[in-house]
């Protein structure tokens, strides 16, 4: 992300109308939340996702916090998350005092391993939080069936998978609740932003209240009550309409953004899969039935040493490649929930070997060739 790289890891894709809409939002004089652009974003998202009631939030992290608040978690309650994910997937539930339980991921997709999940399920399991890693759908049929056994709520952390599909269904519409991220590093972005998707509508009214500082302000604006007041716990999770204006431009340009990302991803896959196969290096697996939104292209190399050498080799050529996700169960916080080495062997192994390649809409064909040539010239 440093500008000292000729090819950065990520570059936000500006599609033209961001400045116009932000300037409209300023002229309209409604910079706070739930203004005209928030409503436009929410109804556009609802028309894309169809089954969901959508509320914009300040981030995906905050959308996960709303989800955790909706569950009224008690100290003995357990929430199962993959160990191989971003901190917020777990932290939102730790904040509510729940016991975090870490599941390993599948070798092929790096998604939560439904077989391990089954072993971790107890009568105290209140929620399961699958993360559609790289936007490739988790085994949602198996996961929802397991959740039904204990009455656990399925909360899809869909920070990577907006516009992806699992067996024809949009990711984010399968669990009772789902979350989206519009952070600058995601496909569709507004700097910082997110959304909570309420597929089980019985959560909707309370989600509106939690998002509005514990008040029934939304009911007031609909004319359902004649004043608004403090009715529940909550916090300040409403996105500024200035950011919603930026986001609306991005959402309108989603086909363009996605087709550009697809172009980059496909070129990488075509050029690097045979090279990787000869060296025991893996490229992303996309199972039949999964349509992915081209959020990420990664390599799983053979060792930590090889990863460091590859990242250094690319950096020397002006290309920034990165790795991510230290196993959560082995982090200082994860240890406090009883995480031990060996609990999630695939996560422990893959976290040391994964490299993410630059992927953004403006990466042109010569740029892609440069990355590909740099990788294939790596002396292994
Ligand atoms: C980016 C990300 C988040 C957090 O998103 P923010 O909008 O930055 O809060 C949560 N979960 C996953 C899997 C992510 O990649």
Atom of ligand 1 nearest to the CA of 62: 9
Residue-averaged pLDDT of the chain: 96
DSSP string, 166-219: ETTEETTSSSSEEEEE--TTSSS--SS-EEEEESSGGGHHHHHHHHBTTB-HHH
Cα of 60 from ligand 1 centre, angstroms:
5
Give the contacts of 37 (CB within 8 A, at least 6 positions apart): 21, 24, 25, 241, 244, 245, 247, 248
- Which residue out of 81, 91, 159, 179 has the highest number of ligand 1 atoms within 8 Å of its CB and is therefore the one to mutate? 159
Residue of the CA atom closest to atom 15 of ligand 1: 159
Q: Please compute Rg for the chain using Cα positions.
A: 21
Cα of 144 from ligand 1 centre, angstroms:
22
CATH assignment of 18-252?
3.40.640.10
Q: Which two tokens stand for residue 352?
A: 């040391």
Cα of 317 from ligand 1 centre, angstroms:
30
Q: Which ranges of the chain does DSSP label H, i.e. alpha helix?
A: 17-28, 36-49, 60-70, 87-94, 114-120, 140-150, 204-211, 217-221, 241-252, 254-278, 304-316, 332-336, 345-350, 365-376
Distance separating alpha carbons of residues 117 and 139, to the nearest angstrom: 11
Q: Which residues line ligand 1 (CB under 6 A)?
A: 59-61, 85-86, 88-89, 131, 157, 159-160, 181, 183, 194
183-196 average pLDDT score: 98
3-state class of 355 per DSSP?
strand
Residue of the CA atom closest to atom 2 of ligand 1: 159
Query: How far is the CA of 199 from the CAs of 51, 92, 176, 193, 195, in angstroms?
Result: 6, 19, 5, 20, 13
Cα of 193 from ligand 1 centre, angstroms:
10
pLDDT value, residue 75: 87
Model confidence at 2: pLDDT above 70: no
The domain ranges of the chain are 18-252, 254-376
Atom of ligand 1 nearest to the CA of 182: 7
Cα of 27 from ligand 1 centre, angstroms:
31
pLDDT digits 0-9 by tens, 146-167 = 999 999 999 999 999 999 999 9
Q: What's the CATH class of domain 254-376?
A: alpha beta
Distance separating alpha carbons of residues 200 and 284, to the nearest angstrom: 32
Cα of 140 from ligand 1 centre, angstroms:
20
Query: How far is the CA of 80 from the CAs of 106, 126, 142, in angstroms?
Result: 15, 8, 15
pLDDT value, residue 48: 97
301-328 average pLDDT score: 97
Distance separating alpha carbons of residues 238 and 259, to the nearest angstrom: 30
pLDDT value, residue 52: 81
pLDDT digits 0-9 by tens, 295-305 = 999 999 999 99
pLDDT digits 0-9 by tens, 66-96 = 999 999 999 899 999 999 999 999 999 999 9
- Which residue out of 58, 63, 88 has the highest number of ligand 1 atoms within 8 Å of its CB and is therefore the one to mutate? 88
Residue of the CA atom closest to atom 6 of ligand 1: 60
Model confidence at 109: pLDDT above 60: yes
Atom of ligand 1 nearest to the CA of 185: 1
For residues 183 and 64, is the Cβ–Cβ distance under 8 A? no
- Which residue out of 85, 155, 157 has the highest number of ligand 1 atoms within 8 Å of its CB and is therefore the one to mutate? 157
Which pLDDT band, with edges at 50, 70 and 90, does 312 fall under?
very high
Share of the chain above pLDDT 90, in %: 94
Q: Which of 25, 27, 48, 44 is nearest to 35 (CA)?
A: 25
Which pLDDT band, with edges at 50, 70 and 90, does 379 fall under?
confident
Atom of ligand 1 nearest to the CA of 186: 1
In sequence order, what are the beta bridge partners of 356?
298, 322
Cα of 237 from ligand 1 centre, angstroms:
15
pLDDT digits 0-9 by tens, 234-256 = 999 999 999 999 999 999 999 99
Residue of the CA atom closest to atom 8 of ligand 1: 183
Which pLDDT band, with edges at 50, 70 and 90, does 51 fall under?
confident
pLDDT value, residue 3: 61
102-118 average pLDDT score: 98
pLDDT digits 0-9 by tens, 273-282 = 999 999 999 9
Which pLDDT band, with edges at 50, 70 and 90, does 1 fall under?
very low
pLDDT value, residue 181: 98
Distance separating alpha carbons of residues 160 and 71, to the nearest angstrom: 23
Q: Which two tokens stand for residue 338?
A: 């009883």
Q: Which of 281, 315, 280, 284 is nearest to 298 (CA)?
A: 284
Distance separating alpha carbons of residues 14 and 84, to the nearest angstrom: 30
pLDDT value, residue 4: 83
Model confidence at 332: pLDDT above 60: yes
The string over 76-112, giving b where at least 16 C-beta atoms fall within 10 Å of a residue's C-beta and e elsewhere, is ebbbbbbbbbbebbbbbbbebebbbbbbbbbeebbbb
Q: Which of 166, 198, 167, 154 is nearest to 180 (CA)?
A: 198
For residues 82 and 103, is the Cβ–Cβ distance under 8 A? yes
Distance separating alpha carbons of residues 104 and 83, to the nearest angstrom: 6
Cα of 29 from ligand 1 centre, angstroms:
30
Cα of 314 from ligand 1 centre, angstroms:
26
Residue of the CA atom closest to atom 1 of ligand 1: 159
Model confidence at 121: pLDDT above 50: yes
């Amino acid at each position: 992300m440093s500008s000292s790289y000729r090819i950065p890891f990520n570059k936000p894709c500006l599609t033209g109308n961001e400045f116009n809409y932000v300037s409209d939002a300023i002229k309209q004089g409604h910079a706070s939340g739930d203004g005209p652009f928030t409503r436009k974003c929410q109804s556009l998202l609802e028309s894309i996702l169809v089954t969901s009631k959508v509320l914009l939030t300040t981030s995906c992290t905050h959308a996960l916090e709303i989800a955790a608040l909706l569950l009224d978690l008690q100290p003995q309650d357990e929430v199962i998350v993959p160990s191989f994910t971003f901190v917020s997937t777990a932290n939102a539930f730790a904040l509510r005092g729940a016991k975090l339980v870490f599941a390993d991921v599948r070798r092929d997709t790096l998604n939560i391993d439904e077989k391990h999940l089954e072993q971790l399920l107890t009568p105290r399991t209140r929620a399961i939080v699958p993360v559609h890693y790289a936007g490739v759908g988790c085994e949602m049929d198996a996961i929802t069936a397991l959740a039904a056994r204990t009455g656990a709520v399925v909360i899809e952390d869909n920070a990577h998978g907006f516009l992806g599909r699992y067996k024809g269904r949009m990711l984010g519409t399968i669990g009772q609740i789902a979350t989206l991220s519009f952070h600058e590093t995601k496909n569709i972005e507004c700097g910082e932003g997110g959304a909570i998707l309420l597929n089980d509508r019985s959560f909707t009214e309370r989600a509106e209240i939690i998002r509005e500082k514990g008040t029934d302000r939304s009911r007031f604006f609909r004319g359902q009550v004649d004043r608004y007041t403090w009715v529940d716990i909550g916090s300040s999770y409403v996105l500024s309409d200035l950011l919603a204006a930026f986001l609306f431009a991005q959402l309108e340009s989603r086909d363009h953004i996605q087709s550009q990302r697809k172009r980059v991803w496909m070129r990488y896959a075509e050029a690097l899969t045979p090279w990787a196969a000869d060296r025991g290096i893996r490229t992303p697996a996309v199972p039949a039935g999964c349509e992915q939104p081209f959020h990420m292209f990664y390599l799983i190399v053979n060792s930590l040493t090889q990863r460091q050498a590859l990242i250094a080799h690319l950096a020397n050529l002006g290309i920034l490649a990165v790795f991510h996700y230290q196993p959560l169960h082995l982090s200082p916080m994860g240890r406090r929930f009883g995480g031990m080495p060996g609990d999630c062997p695939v996560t422990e192994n893959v976290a040391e070997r994964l490299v993410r390649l630059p992927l953004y809409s403006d990466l042109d064909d010569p740029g892609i060739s440069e990355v590909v040539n740099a990788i294939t010239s790596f002396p292994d």
